[in-house]
């Protein structure tokens, strides 16, 4: 039976990975900076630690000796990364090096992002050259290079725009749109950010399928539909019977955000489609599963 250690285990993806990997018959350990207010069902042991501290990591890996290490932890606030460059690279890049060094025998899985691209020519294949336009994107691109430079057997998984069920988490895009429209609020949504939205429960199942197939290299995993954020919001309104007219189109430049966004992004996932067990869902299919969860 394989053992897996998940960093950032109390995040949205971490929580869903625990469920998926336990269902697959693996022993699952978790690590996070948090002192959590709840327990994750199926987690064999939890370690509270900061992954930027190598000495702590060595103790943890000696204690559980994982076969697989999945790094979901990151500073994902892209505007904060722009303002706190040193923090972004410390957590998103340097800590990846610490993890690789602390568990040299474990197969390493790095969760990455579409922000490694500039968004000028999407959707992108797995082997497309990276060209980040933000500090966040640059920190994740360097983490990818570290991961694959350490061993060709490692795995980089790019994903984007996650939504799903979890405990004690900030609202995702779906929740924001639903709650705003349900309250009769007017919302402004960008029309020029295009990509794939991703149900995190489905993503966790697909990551498990990659592990089952002993896949290596770079894979993109997301929902199958390429949509603008505005189109996503409209589809949510139609699905829920809410007022579409309360959704107003704007462009990204009008938001004056600190970090540049890759606008024409998204993934070509032909490589993932060939892996047994991978299921890439349309947004409508994702919404139905999300409601069922």
**Model confidence pLDDT, tens digit, residues 159-204:** 999 999 999 999 999 999 999 999 999 999 999 999 999 999 999 9
Q: Is residue 181 part of a domain?
A: no
pLDDT at 117 over 90: yes
- pLDDT for 122: 96
- pLDDT for 34: 84
| End-to-end alpha carbon distance in the chain | 28
- pLDDT for 37: 85
Q: Is 21 exposed, middle or buried (0-12, 13-18, 19+ CB in 10 A)?
A: buried
CA–CA dist 140, 183 (Å, integer):
37
Q: Is residue 130 part of a domain?
A: yes
Q: Is residue 140 part of a domain?
A: yes
Task: Count Cβ atoms below 10 Å from residue 75 Cβ, excluding itself.
Answer: 19
Q: Is residue 193 part of a domain?
A: no
- pLDDT for 81: 98
**Model confidence pLDDT, tens digit, residues 22-69:** 999 999 999 999 888 899 999 999 999 999 999 889 999 999 999 999
**126 CB-near residues (< 8 Å, 6+ apart):** 158, 217, 218, 219, 220, 267, 268, 271
Q: What's the domain range around 213?
A: 3-159+199-222+265-278
Structural contact between residues 96 and 32, judged by C-beta atoms closer than 8 angstroms: no
Q: Is residue 53 part of a domain?
A: yes
Q: Is residue 245 part of a domain?
A: no
Token duo for residue 275:
């892996």
**Model confidence pLDDT, tens digit, residues 8-22:** 999 999 999 999 999
Q: Is residue 249 part of a domain?
A: no
Q: Is residue 47 part of a domain?
A: yes
CA–CA dist 9, 21 (Å, integer):
12
DSSP 156: E
Token duo for residue 152:
């060709």
Q: Is 39 exposed, middle or buried (0-12, 13-18, 19+ CB in 10 A)?
A: exposed
- pLDDT for 88: 98
**Model confidence pLDDT, tens digit, residues 272-285:** 999 999 999 999 99
- Whichever domain contains 31, its CATH number is 3.40.50.720
Number of domain units in the chain: 1
**Model confidence pLDDT, tens digit, residues 205-247:** 999 999 999 999 999 999 999 999 999 999 999 999 999 999 9
């Amino acid at each position: 039976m394989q053992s897996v250690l998940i960093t950032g285990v109390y995040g949205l993806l971490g929580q869903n990975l625990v469920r998926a990997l336990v269902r697959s018959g693996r022993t699952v350990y978790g690590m996070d900076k948090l002192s959590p207010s709840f327990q994750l069902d199926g987690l064999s042991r939890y370690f509270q630690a900061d992954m930027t501290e190598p000495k702590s990591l060595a103790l943890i890996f000696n204690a559980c000796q994982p076969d697989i290490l999945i790094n979901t932890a990151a500073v994902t606030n892209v505007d904060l990364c722009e303002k706190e460059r040193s923090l972004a690279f410390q957590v998103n890049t340097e800590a990846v090096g610490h993890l690789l060094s602390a568990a040299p025998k474990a197969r390493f899985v790095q969760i990455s992002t579409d922000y490694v691209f500039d968004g000028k020519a999407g959707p992108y294949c797995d082997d497309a050259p990276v060209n980040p336009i933000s500090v966040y994107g640059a920190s994740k691109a360097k983490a990818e290079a570290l991961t694959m430079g350490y061993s060709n057997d490692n795995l980089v998984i790019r994903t984007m725009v996650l939504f799903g069920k979890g405990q004690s988490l900030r609202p995702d895009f779906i929740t924001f749109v639903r709650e705003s429209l349900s309250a009769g609020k007017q919302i402004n949504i960008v029309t020029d950010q295009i990509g794939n939205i991703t149900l995190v429960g489905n993503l966790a199942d697909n990551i498990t399928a990659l592990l089952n197939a002993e896949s290596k290299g770079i894979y993109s995993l997301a929902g199958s539909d390429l949509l603008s954020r505005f189109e996503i919001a409209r589809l949510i309104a139609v699905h829920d019977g809410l007022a579409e007219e309360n959704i107003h189109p704007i462009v990204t430049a009008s938001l004056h955000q600190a970090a540049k966004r890759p606008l024409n992004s998204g993934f070509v996932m032909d490589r993932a489609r060939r892996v047994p067990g991978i299921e890439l869902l349309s947004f409508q299919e994702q919404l139905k599963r999300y409601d069922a969860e």
